[in-house]
Structure 1
């Protein structure tokens, strides 16, 4: 029988092979047909996708810009190779959405016994943890804040009331413009991102909140893929879009603004907690003047303990001559009504609200900026110079997580400085010399690399913007304008070593000012030389290489003993009293 089967096998093999091949073809057709249909559908959508700056069509309740990693993991569907990496694949979600009422109703529902989700990773996110970034990257990200503590905190925790008492009786118009809250994120922790989303949903009145628009800036962590899509699909009024390439804060927010449906854009970071009543005062100020850009008072969430620390002072945003942003504390107001008045602010941080049409009219964010850094300062200067204004609203409070270090990486160490150069070249006019003298790194980058700001300069002229002198005279009058006299400005040095490495200046008023803002001056406290913001400052003329305290006629001497510092000593030929100002850069600009 064995011989017989072997003898007849050649006659049976072609028929068997035929049926096997036919079966494989049927299986291949059944398997590949959905993929081809999906690919053709996505390609058709991509061909009709408008570029940035154009209005997108009204989307479905949830829109997902599909990423290959959301389609069955690493071996799943890949985006068509012919798509440019800045094109986005769009697919509507068919998942049912929960009904969401006002924030009060949501909290009342939990009081009636509904299960309140905790901030720990859901089972979906837990299963996806294996697809996250490498352990080294995860460890570095955990060091940005204590993620374990964050995971034990409810998504719905209510921060302690931090508004001035007079805010609690404020009444707001019921016909305010609607808001799109844009939250951009890249590899954000599950707990902090979801707490941000729920804090908006729990506190913003539904009649004013058009949507929460999440923009995924090409995240790699597993829980931000399918688990987040499934979670968000159950939240009414929340949409998720994804970028197929890294955009950074600037590009990500411009994308969100282009897809927004609300009248007002509210840009939030992905690790914030909103106070009750935070949205209404922002919308009311914009309703009164659509060219106003407004910001809540930023409270601080400690990255180590997640304790919510209220900001008790009145503050405004400013920047120094190195183009670094600071919050500046203002004098206390005795009148309670004064504590709730909007505060004119020379600059704002990244959390702000702006009319959507005004945002587009003045040029959105500068597309020439890379990823992150000083985009808020550039926007602030442009708003003021091109017809708008900026305010901090004391009755609006939002907590922001203070991280140990930034939870992102930049393509190179000079990225922020290059962004600053764009601000200086576009908006500072002749005052950019002051910037370059205080930012040596930026000066040498400017010398070695060209920065093409032609398009932004054209925008400036098209909008009829004012010059930077107007800004200094009308908006930031308190910003000290250095004189930078030759030989009396730069790094203060002795003949044998540098003592004051930050920029110092001795002006014609015989003041010695220190730092990029020039707000701190040399003063005398006993025999010690200190930095002071007092109006009654000591005068220090510069004579024969010595800095003399005019009142006591003693000279500043650098002491390196146990009382290390600068002291007033009888004038002598001691080399520790011989000072000169070394100008590190000399940006001669036309």
Structure 2
């Protein structure tokens, strides 16, 4: 029999190496073709509907590297998938950042328009007050950066003629609720350690005490007259809260300077002159002052010698405040319990917010209000006030100011 193969078998045998070679070549070229195709299809489009050609060319270059470096088809496909995910992720992230940047630019433009409108409204002179010169006058052609800089670094309000600022007499406000004998001890301590001709009045705000403070105070103190503190009582029939009590006392004050003290303190002699000296330093009525606060012995009602003194506070990230060891003059935040300001500044800044009906926070509000309205808060050097702190070992010191009743809240 003949050993020669059939023609069709010979043709198939000759084509099989060619087909195999073509398949291997196609497998090597697949990453070069597939990677740019995936990137072109799935990359984010621009606002004009066009795609980023540079990213497609980068994908083609990466596909070439994969084709040359990874001979096996399944490995090259994995490399293509991994590379495409990275490139598309970066592209979408960049698109998101561009979108946020456009929104920020649009917001800045809107802010510029609104700030410019506010500045234009301030171009006419206004009467002197707490918010005078809060926005500086400006031309209608200012950049956003200039406007923001002007708002942040506005010039200080014009100085008031020192001779026109009356700071001679004091109204001392004592917010008291269920303080008992502490209220009278505080009144007498203030009287004994204060120059009498400076003392216009001591306003005791009885914030719903039961029994009323008037019922437990001595007849001598209630009767008044020579040698007796000039005390008057403002009575709330129900507890309105510490802040409302302080506001009631501040609104009824008649002295040039309003002093807020807690109802369990004793000042050191000379405190009032140290207050006035500091308040008159700038020659206007916008300086609030705080003393150095030491510790009070609740049994003897005398200052504890050598006790550490706190002066000012600062705001923490959790919106609470704590004491700041700060030797300087300016106080970023006052403690709230012991301070003084002129009655004029009290009226111009609006006093305390009557919507704050619980306890605490008024010191933050008032500090920010004063600084932002052109005022300042300073430590009165030489002014010391002893304060009764809560002591777990002494039950008489643990009374907290009560929270208002539900109908007040």
Q: Normalising by structure 2, report the TM-score.
A: 0.51
Determine helix, strand or coil for the equivalent of 1:207: helix
Which one of 196, 201, 204 corresponds to residue 206 of structure 1? 196
Conserved 8 A contact 1:196-1:274: no
Aligned pairs for 1:49-128 (under 5 A) are none
Question: 2-side partners of 1:305 and 1:239: how far apart?
Answer: 25
Deviation at 1:310, TM superposition (A): 4.0
Conserved 8 A contact 1:295-1:352: yes
Question: 1-side partners of 2:167 and 2:404: how far apart?
Answer: 41
Deviation at 1:389, TM superposition (A): 0.5
Cα-to-partner distance string for 1:396-416 (whole Å, 9 max, x where unaligned): 000010014442332599x9x
Q: Greater relative contact order: 1 or 2 (C-alpha under 8 angstroms, separation 6 or more)?
A: 2
Distance 1:204 1:375, change over 3 A: same
Question: 1-side partners of 2:211 and 2:238: how far apart?
Answer: 14
Conserved 8 A contact 2:240-2:404: no
Conserved 8 A contact 1:249-1:372: yes
Question: 1-side partners of 2:211 and 2:372: how far apart?
Answer: 41
Deviation at 1:305, TM superposition (A): 8.6
Determine helix, strand or coil for the equivalent of 1:402: coil
Conserved 8 A contact 2:241-2:404: no
Which one of 292, 301, 305 corresponds to residue 297 of structure 1? 292
Conserved 8 A contact 1:178-1:207: yes
Conserved 8 A contact 2:257-2:342: yes
Aligned pairs for 1:101-500 (under 5 A) are 176-190=167-181, 192-221=182-211, 224-228=213-217, 230=219, 231-234=221-224, 235-287=228-280, 288-301=283-296, 308-311=304-307, 315-330=311-326, 343-349=329-335, 350-404=337-391, 405-410=398-403
Conserved 8 A contact 2:291-2:380: yes
Instruction: Choose 1 or 2 for highest CA Rg.
Output: 2
Distance 1:309 1:321, change over 3 A: farther
Cα-to-partner distance string for 1:248-291 (whole Å, 9 max, x where unaligned): 12111111112111011000100001101011111222233310
Determine helix, strand or coil for the equivalent of 2:366: helix
Question: 1-side partners of 2:342 and 2:257: how far apart?
Answer: 4
Distance 1:236 1:299, change over 3 A: closer
* Corresponding residue number in structure 2 for 1:80: none
Cα-to-partner distance string for 1:181-235 (whole Å, 9 max, x where unaligned): 1111011031x2222111111111122111111111111036x233427332233
Distance 1:318 1:204, change over 3 A: same
Conserved 8 A contact 1:303-1:403: no
Higher helix proportion: 2
Structure 1: runs of 5 or more not aligned: 1-174, 332-341, 419-590
Deviation at 1:311, TM superposition (A): 4.8
Question: 2-side partners of 1:320 and 1:291: how far apart?
Answer: 26
Conserved 8 A contact 1:302-1:403: no
Question: 2-side partners of 1:401 and 1:314: how far apart?
Answer: 13
Q: Normalising by structure 1, report the TM-score.
A: 0.36
Question: 2-side partners of 1:285 and 1:403: how far apart?
Answer: 30
Determine helix, strand or coil for the equivalent of 2:388: strand
Question: 1-side partners of 2:323 and 2:305: how far apart?
Answer: 15
* Corresponding residue number in structure 2 for 1:529: none
Question: 1-side partners of 2:251 and 2:167: how far apart?
Answer: 21
Determine helix, strand or coil for the equivalent of 2:173: strand
Determine helix, strand or coil for the equivalent of 1:200: helix
What is the count of residue pairs matched by the alignment? 229
Distance 1:314 1:189, change over 3 A: closer
Distance 1:309 1:261, change over 3 A: same
Question: 2-side partners of 1:271 and 1:324: how far apart?
Answer: 23
Higher strand proportion: 1
Question: 2-side partners of 1:367 and 1:392: how far apart?
Answer: 27
Deviation at 1:236, TM superposition (A): 4.5
Question: 2-side partners of 1:365 and 1:254: how far apart?
Answer: 6
* Corresponding residue number in structure 2 for 1:569: none
Distance 1:373 1:406, change over 3 A: farther
Distance 1:289 1:272, change over 3 A: same
Conserved 8 A contact 1:301-1:309: no
